[in-house]
Amino acid sequence: MIHARGVAEVTDADFATEVLAERGRHVLVEFTADWCGPCRQLAPVLSAVAAERADRLKVVQIDADSNPEAVTRYGVLSMPTMFVFRDGEPVRQIVGARAKRRLLQELDEALVTA
């Protein structure tokens, strides 16, 4: 899996604990895979977002190839796919790599409206 620095990895086994049980701040989950070129481009962006929004946003990654349960549950069809969760529920879906500025804009909208 392409790992973004400062971003935790979750699995099917701990998804409920690490994502769904989180209260008090939103969770950004990136579904990623080793073979995904755009995921590699997104890794430094996710690292920066995790650092800049740490007070309001927990950022995690999940390897889509080895965690089919979460992939199926959330209907992930392409990589990278990101979901913003609030109190255990997905409130925003973002498909495809983004420049940092654009991703921050979309996340800030989700954090305000969600």
**Block mean pLDDT (10 aa), the chain, length 114:** 87 98 95 96 96 94 98 97 97 96 93 72
pLDDT of residue 74: 98
Number of domains in the chain: 1
Whether 39 is catalytic is: yes
Q: Note whether residue 1 is domain-resident.
A: no
Whether 44 is catalytic is: no
pLDDT of residue 3: 81
Q: pTM for the complete prediction?
A: 0.95
Q: Note whether residue 109 is domain-resident.
A: yes
Q: Where residue 80 sits, what CATH number does that domain have?
A: 3.40.30.10
Catalytic residue among 2, 4, 19, 39: 39
Enclosing domain of residue 50: 8-113
Q: Note whether residue 2 is domain-resident.
A: no
Name residue, tokens 């690292």: 47
Q: Note whether residue 3 is domain-resident.
A: no
12 CB-contact burial (10 Å; exposed 0-12 / middle 13-18 / buried 19+): middle
CB 32 within 8 A of CB 80: yes
